[in-house]
Amino acid sequence: MREWWRDAVIYQVYPRSFQDSNGDGIGDLAGITARLPHIAALGVDAIWLSPFFTSPDKDMGYDVSDYTDVNPLFGTLADFDAMVARAHELGLRVIIDQVISHTSDQHPWFKESRQNRSNAKADWYVWADPLPDGSPPNNWLSVFGGSAWMFEARRRQYYLHNFLTEQPDLNFRNPEVVDTLLGTMDFWLARGVDGFRLDTVNYYTHDDQLRNNPPGQWAEFPVNPYEAQEHVYDKSRPENLAILRRIRALTDRYDDRMLVGEVGAEGARQVELMAEYTSGADLLHMAYSFTMLDRNRSAAHFRLNIEGFFAKAPKGWPCWSFSNHDVQRHASRWTPEGGDVDAVARQAIALLCSFPGAVGIYQGEELGQTETDIEFHELRDLGYIDFWPDHRGRDGCRTPMVWEADAAHGSFTTGTPWLPVKPPQQARAVDSQNDQPDSVLGTYRAVLGIRRDDARLHGRDFRFLDLPEPLLALERGKGPEVLSCVFNLGDQPVTLRVASDATLTGPHVARLEAGRLELPAYGFAYLNAAGRISLG
């Protein structure tokens, strides 16, 4: 029997922005439970829950202070259990984030570790002596700016933090640390979760000699200095594989569970690591890709990454996404100024669902949701505040889900939402699209239906056709009855010649007549027995 996760559509829920059930302006687990029917009606297979653990929220939950309890903002363990039970009733699997490369500086482990060099947790984090002149141990930089090292006067040492100073890195060279983390993961497996999304999975280990990173290749110095280095020694180390094997062994003790790792790397290294981390029955089940979360929307870019992955990992497996909680929403990122947002959004789901592998969608994208314009005084995500306004932070993609166009705050909350709901976003509410088959929401439901029901869109059989930009076409399945998926990624109409017996199947934005396929701007079509496709 084929594993459920291989062709899964995974819906990411950002808990604080999905549904507030108690009027405090922050989404919660009970709110998620109440809205699960909306997710199930889309036709997805699983939900991925961003962190809901106990946290001081310096990085919106990605700074965990207790791995086995729920942040009171979101509810209780009983609320979590009720949510999992309801999701399973609706046929939805539940995947939860695991943020184990680092903890919060408020975690009891770190509070003890920082006291001195002789306590029981002294070696649980990455500590290093200053250089003779008092400067940090090396040139490693934080993703959020500045040195990746913070001095602790009580130990006369620096600790490593790849992200905020409040997110000290755990020492995965200490077996006791790994054993304890596995125990916290086992806690959630025993509660019935169906898998884990492993945050920053290639950051677990570092070079034991603490060697300096070399400079990267850049023509103009980047906004964020982190991007000026080649990250050879501070992440993506070969020792990571041993950690992944331990996590996989734990997961395999349970039936039908899954691991997907977030692999963040630069350039071609991204696909190489995805392949390396999934090429074996003792590693990740699949890797979550960053390669399609940027502004590059060319046919060559999509083809290069998909073909590149499967060439490097014939036994590995990918998970592709266009949006998540860390990047500008693709409906805004990919629509030119004055362009048709709905057309881009409708095409995006058809494009994503044509790719071999699992796919992830981010809450609100099924509405064609756009990036919210967050003003400086409204910022809640402070990680990138030093780079304002060139980098406007991540709040714009994290604003609340909108359910009712005419209700206050889109019916997300009866209180004051933690981030504002603004008119351009509220106009895309669920109720304004629910009964409109041609809406973005209606298109998502239709495309996800064909993705689920058409076996040709399952498995790893695919072949890209040679067409010029901005056209992208790939065949799915094998034999004479392939499904041809054709996309006009440009803003001008295009006509193609196809087999005279070709027929349209499923949702489409195209016209087919007498072997001529007319694709408007951002048009798309799924074709039965399309045969050879060429410019008309």
C-alpha triplet 370, 259, 456: angle, nearest 5°: 70
Cβ-contact 278, 313 below 8 angstroms: yes
From the candidates 266, 373, 378, 431, give the one annotated as an active-site residue. Answer: 266
Exposed e or buried b for every residue in 432-445, given b needs 16+ CB within 10 A?
A: bbeeeeebbbbbbb
C-alpha triplet 77, 79, 81: angle, nearest 5°: 70
Rounded Cα–Cα distance for residues 87 and 468 (Å): 44
How far apart, in Å, are the Cα atoms of 13 and each of 43, 330, 349, 442?
15, 17, 17, 20
Rg (CA), the chain: 23
Rounded Cα–Cα distance for residues 45 and 108 (Å): 37
Rounded Cα–Cα distance for residues 445 and 513 (Å): 26
Exposed e or buried b for every residue in 240-276, given b needs 16+ CB within 10 A?
A: bbebbebbbebbeeeeebbbbbbbbbeeebbbbbbbb
Rounded Cα–Cα distance for residues 106 and 111 (Å): 6
Residue with tokens 């100073």: 165
Cβ-contact 97, 51 below 8 angstroms: yes
Cβ-contact 208, 171 below 8 angstroms: no
H/E stretch holding 486: strand 483-488
From the candidates 28, 152, 199, 475, give the one annotated as an active-site residue. Answer: 199
Rounded Cα–Cα distance for residues 173 and 169 (Å): 12
Residue 266 annotated as catalytic: yes
C-alpha triplet 106, 155, 237: angle, nearest 5°: 75
Rounded Cα–Cα distance for residues 310 and 357 (Å): 10
Rounded Cα–Cα distance for residues 232 and 40 (Å): 42
Joined tokens for residue 460: 């790893």
Joined tokens for residue 141: 């930089």
Rounded Cα–Cα distance for residues 150 and 417 (Å): 34
Rounded Cα–Cα distance for residues 9 and 359 (Å): 5
Among 496, 492, 535, 494, CA closest to 514 = 496
Q: Directed axis angle between helix 341-353 and helix 440-453, to 10°?
A: 10
Cis status of the peptide bond prior to 72, with omega within 30 of 0: no
Q: Which residues are identified as catalytic?
A: 199, 266
